[in-house]
Amino acid sequence: MAERVQKILARWGIASRRGAEKLILAGRVTLNGKPVQLGDQADPEGDRLCVDGKPLKATERPRHYYYLIHKPKGVVSTCADPKGRSTVLDLLPPPLRQGKGIHPIGRLDAQSTGALLLTNDGNFTLALTHPRYHIPKTYRVWLKGKVPEHVLDQWRQGVMLGDRRTLPTQIHLKTITQDKTCIDIMLTEGRNRQIRRVAEQLGFPVVKLHRLAIGNLHLGDLQRGQARPLTKAEIKQLRSQYNSNFPFHSSAPVREYQA
């Protein structure tokens, strides 16, 4: 059955769909000997589809891997780093660190910690990162200063960030002192460094940021720097959450997550 080439590459774990589009635009993908154009379709059973000259064979479709990691501070959310810093792939078992097409689903900046998913299933990556699916992510955030309730309300309702307003979000106040405020915040959009940028704009910069959950998948007892494979039930549950609305759970105890 013919389908778009970028979808095939994603199913084979070569790249996410967006990554596959970049491969196509770079001229690295051929179909029956000719460079693929965006929108071209192929049938893996009958067509010869190659990436960097290496053919994709229907009988060699790779196994998909799904991992949850507890990212420590200082580890970057990329597959390689030109500065030589540790990457999230370094947290996986050694046999999975190279040659499997595993990549992070979204990112956490180097200074942030917490839950991050890795996979080589491009369609899974697309579903969990595309704005249309609204997969929520829950964060615990420590802000500098004593944040007034009206400022939190402003954040909840959405603020102008760049050229557009952020979506309304759920924020629960956890603790507050004279010099620090701790909140739990749920986002259903993934704009670059959104929490840090909004907090800075409101005058209460982030001291520490920790991701508690992706959808209904929580870190649980997974220790900092550790990784574990998702269970079949967890994979199924994440898939079932596409386009769903979620209750905001904020029951995790407040503690200082160390780097």
Each of the 259 residues of the chain gets a pLDDT tens digit; together they read 688 998 888 777 787 778 889 999 999 999 999 999 999 999 877 889 999 999 987 666 778 899 999 999 999 999 888 999 999 999 999 999 987 889 999 999 999 999 999 998 888 888 888 777 778 999 999 999 999 999 999 999 999 998 999 999 999 999 999 999 999 999 988 788 999 999 999 999 999 999 999 999 999 999 999 999 999 999 988 888 764 444 444 444 545 444 3
Give me the residue spans of the domains in the chain.
3-60, 63-133+219-248, 136-214
CATH 3.10.290.10 fits 3-60, yes or no: yes
Of the listed 43, 109, 184, 221, which one is catalytic? 109
As given in the structure block, the two tokens for residue 244 are 């769903």
Q: CATH for 63-133+219-248?
A: 3.30.70.580
Architecture category of domain 136-214 in CATH: 2-Layer Sandwich (3.30)
Residue 184 annotated among the catalytic residues of the structure: no
**Is there a shared CATH topology between the 3-60 domain and the 136-214 domain?**
no
Q: What is the pLDDT of residue 1?
A: 66
Q: What pLDDT shows up at residue 242?
A: 60
